[in-house]
Every structure is written in C-alpha cells, then in structure tokens.
Amino acid sequence: MLMQPDQTHDLPKVETGPPILALNRVTKTFPGVTALSEVSLELFPGKVTALVGENGAGKSTVVKILTGIYQPDGGEIEIDGTPCRFPTAQAAGDAGVTAIHQETVLFDELSVAENIFLGHAPRGRFGLIDTAEMIEKARAILVGIGAQIEPRTKLKDLGIANKHLVAIARALSIDARVVIMDEPTAALSQKEIEELYVLVEELKDQGKAILFISHKFDEIFRIADNYTVFRDGALVGTGSIADVSEAELVKMMVGRDVSQIFPNRAHNIGDEILVVEGYEHPTEFADIGFTLHRGQILGFYGLVGAGRSEFMQSIFGITRPSSGVLRIDGKQVDIRSPADAVANGIVYVPEDRGKQGAITALPIFQNVTLPSLGRTSRNGFLQLAEEFKLARDFTERLDLRAASLDTDVGNLSGGNQQKVVIAKWLATQPKVIILDEPTKGIDIGSKAAVHEFMAELAAQGLAVIMVSSEIPEIMGMSDRVIVMREGRIAAELSADTMTPETLVRHAAGI
Amino acid sequence: MSDTSRSIPDRLQSPLERRLKSWETLLLAVAVAIFIVNSFTSPYFLNAWNLSDMTFNFTEKAMIAFAMALLIIAGEIDLSVASIIALASTAMGAAVQLGVGTPGLVLIGLGVGLLCGAFNGFLVTRMGLPSIVVTIGTMSLFRGISYIVLGDQAYRGYPSDFAFFGQGYVFWVISFEFVLFACLALIYFVLLHKTNFGRAVYAIGNNAVGAEFSGIRVARVKFILFLLTGLMSGVAAICLTSRLASTRPSIAVGWELEIVTMVVLGGVNILGGSGSIPGVVIAAFVMGLVTFGLGLLNVPGIVMSIVIGALLIGVIALPRLWENWRMQAAKR
C-alpha cells in the first residue's frame, strides 16, 4: 500500500529530502483496544520531529514498534524507502534505530563502558571482550558528547542526568541513524536540560533523525523542526513547527466531543466528609490540600508522573507523608497503613489491578470478602455461606460477568477484574472511594458500566476521588478538578470553568 | 445478555470433586502403596508396637512442619528450626543443672522457641530482610550458642517425670507424642483452612502487595507465623530432649531440610500461595513409612536419605511430566 499523504491529510510537505525512516499507515490492536489506527510518521536526517499527544494517544506504542518490541498488525516501516521489519529489538538496532526511554533501560551493576557496549563490545583474541579497547572507545564517545563520566564507574553510582548521558552514548555507540527520545527531560534539572539541548543540536549536525516525545511545549518549540500529533491512536496533524502555534497544537491534541457518552448525573452535594491539609512528601508531592463533600466526584488530572498516584497512596496509608493533616467527618485521623484507611472508610482502587488491586490467583468471592472478613466471619472463623452472599450482592450490582464466584480473578477480562476490585471496596461500606485510572485498559462496554456506577455511587452520597489522565473522562465525570503538576496543585477548576485547553495548559505549565 | 435476573453460581465444581482430583489424594495413594509394599517385604512391619515406634520418625518433625507450612504458604521460610531445637534443649539442660523441675523446663523450652521466632520475625518484618538469608544466619547463630555452652559435653539428669513427653504412652500403643501430633494437626488445619487468619496467609502468599492494598496487616501476620514456627520448635525440643534424655549440641542436625521436604512433599508450593495441612499430615506418614520400612530391611541411613530425595523429586516431577505428555498428545 503506497502512502499518498495529500490524499488523507491536506498537510504541507515539510521537507524536500527523503526521510530516513517512515511509518506508512501502521495499525496495532490489542484485545479490545485499537492502539494505533493507520498512523504515518516521517523522520528526516538532521531534523527533530516532536511527537505530541495525550496520555494514551499511542506514542509509546509507536516507540515500541520502532524498537522491535511490538509488531504492527498492518502497514509498513520503511528505511530509506525500503520496506523492512523489526522482529526483535536487535533487528531495530541493526537497522540503526535506538531509543532513550523515560526510565533508561540500563544495568546498575555494570560499568558505564559495559552499559554503552552491551551486546556489541569490541572483541579481542578468542572472542573475549577487549576491555581496554571498550573503555577507550567509551571514553571517546563520552568526551564527544561533553559528558565528564569515567567509563569504569558503576552505573548505580551516577545520578539520573548522567545515566541519561550514558543512554545517549549507548545510542551513539551503535552508530544509530534514528534516535528516539521518550520524555528525555522528565527527570532532569533545568541546567541538565540545557546540556541535553546542546547534545540534540550536535546529533542534528551529524545528520541523525530524532524523534522527540515530550509533554512540555516550551521545549518542543525550542528544539523541534517538525511536529506530529496523535489522538486516540490516530494521526491528526503533522507539519513544520514554524507554521503552528501552541494553541493549535493543544486543540489538535484534545479536540473532540467529550460530553456524549457520560451518564447524566444528579448533583446532590452533601456535607464535608474529607479534609486534607498540607500533605508533603520529601520527593513525590508538596503542599496538597482540598476538601471533599458527600456525593461529589473530584477529578485529579495531570501528566503521568505528576505525583497523583503517590499522593493517593499516602492518603491510603501505603506511603507515609512527611507532614499533613487528614480529617474524616471532622475527626482528625492518623493513617499508618491501608488497614487504618479502610477502618476509617477510605478505600483505594489502584491503577495496577494485577499487582495491587486484586489477588488474581484467588477466586472472586475471596477477593471480594478479603477486607470484609471481620463482618462475614464469626469469632474469626470463616462462614462461607456469608461470604458467597456478600460477594454475590456486590458483584451483581456491578453486573459482573463470570462463570462462578469460585472462578479465579486472573481468568476474568480486565473490565471484570476491575468490577471485582470495586465490589471488594463497596462491600466495606466506605465513605470515600479513590479510583486511580479506573477505566485504563478496559473495553468500552465495561468503561461505560464503571462510569455509570460511579455516578450512582455519588448519587447515593459516597464521596469519589477519580484520578484520570483521560480528558473526556475528567470532563464527563467530575464536579470539580484538581490539576497536579510536578507534585503540586497547579489549579482547581469547577465544572463550568474547565475546558480541555485549560486542563492541558495547567498540567503542562504553559 | 440483558437478562437481569441472571445470577452467578457460587461454584461449578463441588469441594468434594475438587478434593478427589487433588494432590492429597495422589499422595494418600502413594502412602497406601508404601504401606502394602512394606507389609510384604518385612514380617515385622505389621505389628502394633513396631508401627507405634514408626510414628516417632515423624511426629516431632511434623509438629514444626505444620507451622512451617503456613510460613511457606505465606511466602517466607525458616531454616533455623533445628537450631532452635538445639538452643531450647541446651537451655533446658542448663536449667536441669540448676535444679529446675519439669514445669519450669517446659516453660523454658517454649519460651526459648518463642524468643528465637520473635528474633527471626523481627529481622524479616521490621528490617525487611529476606527470610532465607536471615534464617540461614540464625541457623548458625542459635546452634553456635549451644556449641559454646556445651562443647563436646552433654547435659543429662532430666527429672524422671520429664520423660513422659517423649517416652510416655497415653493408651496401649498410642504415645503422648502421637496424640500431640494429632491435636496439633487439627489445630493447624482449623487455623489455616477455617479462619480469617488462614485466609490472610493465602492472600499474602499469592500477592503480598495486593494483600497489603486490601487492608491486610501483612507484617503482623508474618511476624505471628515466625512466632508460631519458633514455638513449635520449642515443643519439638521438649519432646525430643525427653525422648533422648540428654542434650548434645548436635541434636536434630539437618532436620530443617527434612521438615521443608515434608512440607513440599505435602503439596505446599515452595514459592508460596498454595498448600494444605492434610497434605503435610500424609507426607509425614509417607516419610515415616519409608524410613521405617527401609530400617526394617537394614538399609543404611545414607541410602534412606537418597530414597527420600528421590521420592521428593519423583512426586513433584511426575505430575508435571504427565501434564507435558498430555499437552503434547493434545497437539497431535
């Protein structure tokens, strides 16, 4: 299938030279989700292309396809105009594509030189690694990018910024022609970011094509030459950065109808139930405070890594805040463990269902009753009939689909697993329920069921906190939204003042 | 699928059906087979007193194995149990030299066991150290103390009524140890399979993070399990010391591996999360029968340990081989 760019999108031709790497109408589906739908992307020599989109727009999937971790279901990858396939990460590397990830994939216990040359170290006699040569080459590369790092240092002794430099050195050592940078500045200080910009310029001068993924508009406008915007796994715009404004980019990222699929809600806001003041954590968040009323749905929006989950887990007693006050029903409580939180009526549906939310090797009914065993048992002895009754009551309210209540949770679909986790917490009769990305990775049908149920819970007077990175979900469900950025509250918006644009602006800090 | 009266059944498979297809049933068949083979190969086997003697091969180890089963199901392990026996026995022996009577000796035995268990539990749950490392350390530490105290000496002179725990009979051929073993089996069965605490043990073993996120106090449960294992080691120390009527620092050497073998043979997943007390009870009988049967045939001890090892690997490997073979047959 040959790509006719002007036919599908009336976009300006941004570059006269041929691209090094091109994706042509690449599609990737996962069970229940289309992650990428016929997206195209072109990377030119000596140019930085910024890939922009909301969380879940398909950026990470593209990176994984380009680095041989995922195989596309349709469309093709071209290098220098020749179609090719990357069945393994090795194949992508051999084709000259390398990626520097948000969290660098390096090995703490190996030396810097070993990290740089892992898998392609210079060989000496008998095929053994020529350590001296490797260290010299590593030193040369590091000097070339202006990094003052001794190649014999163990990686674990370096700071995060230097680890990034090692990752970049590794990218250069395999003579990459295409360098993917996935939020490279997320963990760096301003000075380190400046050094990174200089490095990007050098890579450009060497004629490498760079794919730069970032949420920060200032840096996109500073170093990118071209842009490509994804939304919901589809390409919505591409062109030269000189021809576009920030506002236009934001609009492309979020522009869609957000109100239609969400339930209409009765807004019976009741008494104050939860008050949080001055919550602080040494590294994750600072100065968080808000009040929550019965019957209210409070949304927490922000970019991945803004500290929302970490904050929620501190309310739930997983991590201890260094300071802060929490009052429930006007009474100050000290929550030292999840057991304390549950006892005080605060429950948490985590984002990571498989690890934190459910115990997948145990049957449905045991998962549901686990925090409620005190009520279903007699003097500490299990009462199976009571357990089945409680589990049936709450799973049926959520319209769970399962062969029996004795089925292991691991055998259920993601949506039904989520229903089990929610049922587990509702069975404890909580006052406040925190839902962390409640519909992430679940199918559309279950999504709607979860949304409807959330609305119903609020109508019954439960206070709901919903952490979500999906703007439609935030807009469609919340009475009020707190936007977090870099561990702090960036804004608090009411239902009538929030727009997709204001949310993105506050989250990205522009 | 819009039938709103649709109801999810509790279970598709009855508990009885599940039991018949279980590991315990297979193991029971093995035990019966060994029993039959033994009764044909040795004329002395089918004798009430000989069979009663046989139970001493496993009763003390099984007492510890019950607590160890819970600990392993919860994803931890205690390799210091045999050394706790040595330390508890040494403490009792030293107390005898000071003229302490039987009730005092029992309290000292149980107390030392509890203290050792608390020490292990503290290091694992409070300091966050891996239990396999902690208890390999305390294995050397506890027995090392015995060696320092005793050297190549032995404590003797236990009071005559102290002998009842290891040598007494409750009724005809039924020994006190066997009655204690049966009572503890029942107690641990109820604790693991019928209480909230037992449910928490399974939840922790399958997913400790998920259990914590479900409001289970994971560290507290694990600490209690270390306490129980220490306490059972103290109980075993009383029985064994009473039976031998002396204490040497090499008492119960190597038992920790036999106990872990018993637990794993009983169908407890060494990685945690599954297993049952009936399985451990049957495994105790299997190991007792094998050792005793071979003993009657005058097979040397070293060969016995080879047989036990082969049994363990065989019983664990066979179901897996069977499963692989079935999968391949299904592919064709």
Most confidently modeled range among A184-198, A219-233, B76-90, B300-314: B76-90
User: Is B279 inside a domain boundary?
Assistant: yes
ipTM: 0.85
Contacts of B9 in chain A (CB under 8 A): 403-405
B214, B216, B218, B269, best to mutate vs chain A, most A CBs in 10 Å? B214
- The upper half-sphere exposure of residue A328, i.e. CA atoms within 13 Å in the direction of its Cβ, equals 19
The Cα B111–Cα A239 span in angstroms is 77
Closest CB to B197: pick one of A318, A341, A380.
Answer: A380
Please state, rounded to an integer, the average pLDDT across all residues of chain B.
89
How is residue B103 written in tokens? 């009730």
A2 CB contacts (<8 Å, ≥6 apart)? Answer: A24
pLDDT computed for residue A13 by the predictor: 43
User: Is B178 inside a domain boundary?
Assistant: yes
Read off the DSSP letter of residue A266.
-
| Tens digit of each residue's pLDDT (9 = 90 or more) over B239-260 | 999 999 999 999 999 899 889 9
Number of Cβ pairs < 8 A linking chain A and chain B = 103
Q: Which helix (H) or strand (E) holds A278?
A: strand A272-280
Query: Would you say residue A353 has pLDDT above 90?
Result: no
* A336 inside 8 A of chain B by CB: no
User: Is B327 inside a domain boundary?
Assistant: no
* A365 inside 8 A of chain B by CB: yes
* A341 inside 8 A of chain B by CB: yes
B207 and A355 in contact by Cβ < 8 A? yes
| Tens digit of each residue's pLDDT (9 = 90 or more) over A151-169 | 999 988 887 778 878 888 8
* A366 inside 8 A of chain B by CB: yes
User: Is B11 inside a domain boundary?
Assistant: no
Say if residues A371 and B203 touch (Cβ distance below 8 Å): no
User: Is B102 inside a domain boundary?
Assistant: yes
List Cα–Cα distances, A248 to A219, A236, B39, in angstroms: 16, 12, 89
User: What are the extents of the domains in chain A?
Assistant: 105-175, 257-345+430-510, 360-429
How is residue B151 written in tokens? 């050297």
pLDDT computed for residue B83 by the predictor: 97
Residue of chain A nearest B14, judged by CA positions: A406
Q: What is the mean pLDDT of residues B72-79?
A: 97
Query: Would you say residue A3 has pLDDT above 70?
Result: no
| Tens digit of each residue's pLDDT (9 = 90 or more) over A141-151 | 888 777 788 99
Closest CB to B10: pick one of A358, A367, A404.
Answer: A404
Read off the DSSP letter of residue A73.
S
Say if residues A273 and A432 touch (Cβ distance below 8 Å): yes
How does DSSP assign A412-451, residue by residue?
S-HHHHHHHHHHHHHTT--SEEEEESTTTT--HHHHHHHH
* A394 inside 8 A of chain B by CB: no
Min distance B186 CA to chain A CA atoms (Å): 14
User: Is B39 inside a domain boundary?
Assistant: no
pLDDT computed for residue A8 by the predictor: 40
| Tens digit of each residue's pLDDT (9 = 90 or more) over A30-49 | 765 678 889 999 999 999 99
CATH T-level fold of A257-345+430-510: Rossmann fold (3.40.50)
Could you tell me which residue, A510 or A378, shows the higher pLDDT? A378
How is residue A413 written in tokens? 């679909």
How does DSSP assign B252-317, residue by residue?
TTTHHHHHHHHHHHTT--TTSS---HHHHHHHHHHHHHHHHHHHHTT--HHHHHHHHHHHHHHHHH
Residue of chain B nearest A318, judged by CA positions: B213
A359, A360, A372, A425, best to mutate vs chain B, most B CBs in 10 Å? A359
A372 three-state secondary structure = helix
Query: Would you say residue A4 has pLDDT above 60?
Result: no
The Cα B243–Cα B234 span in angstroms is 14
User: Is B46 inside a domain boundary?
Assistant: no
Beta strands per DSSP E along A288-403? 288-293, 297-302, 323-328, 331-332, 346-349
Residue of chain A nearest B195, judged by CA positions: A381
The sheet carrying A21-30 orders its strands as: A33-43, A21-30, A74-79, A82-84
Question: Which has the minimum average pLDDT: A265-274, A310-319, A401-410?
Answer: A265-274
User: Is B225 inside a domain boundary?
Assistant: yes
- β-strand partners of A179: A98, A210
Q: Which domain, by its residues, includes B128? A: 54-315
A392 and B7 in contact by Cβ < 8 A? yes
Query: Would you say residue A77 has pLDDT above 70?
Result: yes
Residue A448 — very low, low, confident or very high, per pLDDT cuts 50/70/90?
A: confident
* A374 inside 8 A of chain B by CB: yes
Query: Would you say residue A460 has pLDDT above 90?
Result: no
Closest CB to B12: pick one of A365, A377, A404.
Answer: A404
Q: CATH number, domain at B205?
A: 1.10.3470
Number of domains making up chain B: 1
Please state, rounded to an integer, the average pLDDT across all residues of chain A.
85
Read off the DSSP letter of residue A269.
-
Query: Would you say residue A389 has pLDDT above 80?
Result: yes
Contacts of B274 in chain A (CB under 8 A): 361
Residue of chain B nearest A401, judged by CA positions: B8
The Cα B44–Cα B322 span in angstroms is 36
pLDDT computed for residue A15 by the predictor: 47
Q: What is the mean pLDDT of residues A416-438?
A: 92
pTM: 0.76
B196 and A371 in contact by Cβ < 8 A? no
Q: Which amino acid is at A283?
A: T
What torsion, rounded to 10 degrees, do the Cα atoms B284, B288, B291, B294 define?
-130
Query: Would you say residue A2 has pLDDT above 50?
Result: no
* Main-chain phi, psi angles of B59, to 5 degrees: -60, -50
A406 and B12 in contact by Cβ < 8 A? yes
Residue A485: closest CA among A103, A184, A217, A196? A217
